């Protein structure tokens, strides 16, 4: 008898037992009962011949190691996975970004900033895994509560290029009495460069000249941060600005 060498494809998710299908399982038992691969499968929705959406989810986790690592992966790397086109990639990236923002929201907004760690805890989920520098301006009200966070620049892998005039004008336009600025170092290290120090000193001079309180400049790294205020630079630059005005 001639042997049948045809490959048996896996059973599509739509033909699985209802309790095993990711969407039905989530709705019946809750999202906490699903594995990471199953949650990704809900976003991916459909597989390819021979591979279910869960299989593609498993490949994503195997290739990129973790959900956090996936947050910083370039779109071009996702396209290398069979079965992922632009629409599915956009859904995955959007879901990861929502998760990142949710982590940040837990640290905000009702309580005033009292320490540099309050700012770092807000920004760490948003900025620590970025592959390019992002420079943000935090506008504070009279209680030192953040009223808004504004992107000033989004730069290359090496450095952002924030403009002091834009920062001061933005603070004035929003009637913010106090500001904090922050950026990330894609390398993960937080040691400030000479450019970082020179920029911070110049921003202090401009803030003092316009009556705006400049509280800190935070550098976000890989689960660590650097505070110009904590290290004494802000006090030093403020004293110099007062002498020169």
Per-residue pLDDT reduced to its tens digit, 18-36: 667 888 888 888 887 888 8
| Whether 163 and 61 share a structural domain | no
Residue 4 lies in a domain: no
Q: What is the pTM of this model?
A: 0.66
pLDDT at residue 241, as a whole number: 85
pLDDT at residue 36, as a whole number: 86
Identify the domain boundary among 76, 103, 130. Answer: 103
Identify the domain boundary among 46, 77, 103. Answer: 103
Total of domains in the chain = 2
| Rg, the chain, Cα only | 24
Residue 108 lies in a domain: no
What is the domain extent for residue 80?
13-103
pLDDT at residue 194, as a whole number: 93
**CATH code of the domain containing 165:** 3.40.140.10
In the chain, which stretches have pLDDT less than 50?
Answer: 1, 7-9
């Amino acid at each position: 008898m001639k042997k049948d060498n045809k490959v048996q494809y896996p059973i599509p998710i739509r033909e699985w037992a209802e309790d095993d299908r990711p969407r039905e399982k989530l709705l019946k038992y809750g999202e906490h009962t699903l594995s990471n691969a199953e949650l990704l499968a809900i976003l991916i929705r459909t597989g390819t011949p021979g591979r279910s959406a869960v299989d593609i989810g498993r490949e994503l986790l195997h290739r990129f190691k973790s959900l956090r690592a996936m947050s910083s992966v370039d779109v071009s790397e996702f396209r290398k996975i069979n079965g992922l086109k632009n629409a599915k990639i956009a859904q995955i990236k959007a879901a990861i970004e929502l998760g990142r923002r949710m982590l940040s929201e837990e640290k905000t907004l009702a309580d005033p900033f009292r320490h540099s760690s309050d700012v770092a805890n807000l920004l760490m989920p948003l900025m620590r895994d970025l592959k390019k520098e992002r420079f943000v301006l935090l506008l504070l009200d009279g209680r030192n509560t953040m009223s808004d966070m504004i992107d000033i620049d989004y730069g290359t892998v090496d450095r952002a290029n924030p403009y002091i005039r834009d920062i001061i004008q933005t603070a004035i336009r929003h009637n913010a009495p106090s500001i904090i600025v922050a950026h990330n170092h894609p390398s993960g290290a937080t040691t400030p460069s000479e450019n970082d120090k020179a920029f911070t000193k110049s921003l202090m001079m401009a803030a003092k000249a316009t009556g705006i309180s400049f509280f800190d400049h935070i550098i976000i790294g890989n689960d660590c941060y650097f505070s110009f205020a904590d290290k004494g630079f802000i006090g030093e630059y403020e004293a110099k600005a007062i002498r020169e005005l």
